[in-house]
Amino acid sequence: VKQAGGGAYRLFDAGMAAALIRRRVLEADLRDALMHNAFDVHYQPIAEIESRRIVAMEALLRWTHPTRGSISPAEFIPIAEASGLIIPIGEMALSRACLEAMHWPPATRLSVNLSPAQFKSETLVQSVVRALEASGLPASRLELEITESVLLVESRDNLAILHQLRALGVHISLDDFGTGNSSLFYLRAFPFDKIKIDRSFVQELPTNLQCVAIVRAVTGIGQCLNVATVAEGVETEEQLAHLRKEGCTQMQGYLFAKPLPAEAARKLFGAWQEEEVA
Ligand code: C2E
Ligand code: CA
Ligand code: CA
Ligand code: CA
């Protein structure tokens, strides 16, 4: 039994011990997976609501554990962040995704998630430059998705890094908008190119009045700032109709397409042939 604050007692029970052990084991296995190139990158399209044209593809990491099977990024990304492993894992994902994006129509952008921990690396800007150079992908085709936490605490440098990335010609998206503590503050702190409305607000459209109000406010901000707004996690035609009516510009979600392995994602472009460009 461990004593916690306020005289409360917390049981350090078998369940917690098991969770801790799983974390330790997964951390070791992540190192292994990195060495053996055991990660995969899937791609989920982001489409314009009006035309249904794919404007970007978001790269999403996948990990199939040798004995435990598929492990959700929601579980392994936090472990990778806490251990610093997200830096090499993130670099690997970025460079692989840049190479893959060269197989898509030239107007399609690649969107890559950056974790706050990657901003602690001295070499973030350098590794972005390297990934672009190695693949030949123009900087203007790369979008980096960050969450509000990147601009939180001890982050004076992070703002400078964002400006350096922007100076390369890379676009910066504000991910999971609305889930942090002071989202509006961050919109003032940096001129984002895109705002992604978190799935939690989209899910309950159009019945939940709070969600309706928040989505209306965010798309309004987007229109005012002339910044694209993307609704995450769109699953139903009803949600899509509501978002269109509110003037949201882009959608991402199972309704349009799930994240797909590289080969399957390429097929979404249908008639487009890379040979035509080559
Ligand atoms: P995220 O950046 O918010 O990514 C969107 C998540 O929503 C993805 O989960 C995607 O599969 C899921 N999703 C998309 N459409 C729908 C839908 O219609 N319904 C539902 N229920 N879910 C939908 P995923 O792939 O499990 O990734 C979870 C999180 O892990 C991501 O959230 C992101 O924060 C993180 N992540 C994934 N790949 C990377 C990466 O390469 N680097 C970093 N730093 N984080 C990553
Ligand atoms: Ca994202
Ligand atoms: Ca998101
Ligand atoms: Ca999210």
Question: What's the pLDDT tens digit per position in 148-167?
Answer: 888 876 566 899 999 999 99
Cβ–Cβ under 8 Å, residues 93 and 41: yes
Give residue 1's pLDDT. Answer: 46
Decide which of 44 and 277 is more confident.
44
- pLDDT in the model for residue 17: 86
Q: What are phi and psi of 236, to 5 degrees?
A: -130, 155
Is the CB of 115 inside a 6 Å radius of any atom of ligand 1? yes
113 lines ligand 1 (CB under 6 A): yes
Please tell me the residue having the least CA distance from ligand 1 atom 35: 73
Residue nearest (by alpha carbon) to ligand 1 atom 7: 233
Q: Which of 42, 43, 60 best tests ligand 1's pocket when mutated (most atoms within 8 Å of CB)?
A: 60
* Structure tokens, 215: 């989505």
Query: In 3D, which of 158, 203, 212, 148 has the Cα closest to residue 180?
Result: 148
pLDDT at 29 over 50: yes
Residue-level pLDDT at 5:
54
Residues with Cβ–ion distance below 5 A, ligand 3: 175-176, 232
With a 6 Å cutoff on the Cβ, whether 60 touches ligand 1 is yes
Residue linked to tokens 């917390």: 10
More confident call, 13 vs 32: 32
Q: How far apart are the C-alpha atoms of 227 and 192, rounded to whole Å?
A: 7
Q: Is the CB of 45 under 6 A from ligand 1?
A: no
The mean pLDDT value for 83-89 works out to: 95
pLDDT band at 278 (very low <50, low <70, confident <90, very high): very low
Residue 12 confidence (pLDDT) above 80: no
Question: What's the token pair of residue 164?
Answer: 């350096």
CA 53 to chain centroid, in Å, comes to 20
Percent of the residues in the chain that have a pLDDT greater than 90, as a whole number: 77
30-66 tens-digit pLDDT:
999 999 999 999 999 999 999 999 999 999 999 999 8
Q: Summarize the confidence of residues 232-251 as an average pLDDT.
A: 97
Q: Contact, 118 vs 87, CB < 8 A? A: yes
Q: Tell me, in angstroms, the distance from the centre of ligand 1 to residue 219's CA.
A: 21
Q: 40: Cβ below 6 Å to ligand 1? A: no
pLDDT of residue 210: 95
pTM score over 0.90: yes
Q: Model confidence over 109-118: pLDDT tens digits?
A: 999 999 999 9
Q: How far is the CA of 60 from the centre of ligand 1 (A)?
A: 6
Q: What does the pLDDT read at residue 90?
A: 97
226 residue type, one letter: N
Note the ipTM here. Answer: 0.98
Ligand minimally distant from the alpha carbon of residue 116: 1
pLDDT given at position 15: 84
Q: What is the chain's mean pLDDT, rounded?
A: 91
Nearest CA to ligand 1 atom 12: 233
Dist. CA 214 → ligand 2 center (Å): 19
CA distance 246 to 124: 37
Q: Which residue has the tokens 């190479």?
A: 99
Q: Encode pLDDT of 188-211 as tens digits.
A: 889 999 999 999 999 999 999 999
- The residue whose CB lies within 8 Å of the most ligand 1 atoms, and thus the one to mutate among 71, 92, 113, is 113
Q: Is the minimum distance from the CB of 253 to ligand 1 under 6 angstroms?
A: yes
Mean pLDDT over residues 166-190, rounded? 89
Checking if the pLDDT of 89 tops 90, the result is yes
137: β partners? none
Q: How far is the CA of 176 from the centre of ligand 2 (A)?
A: 7
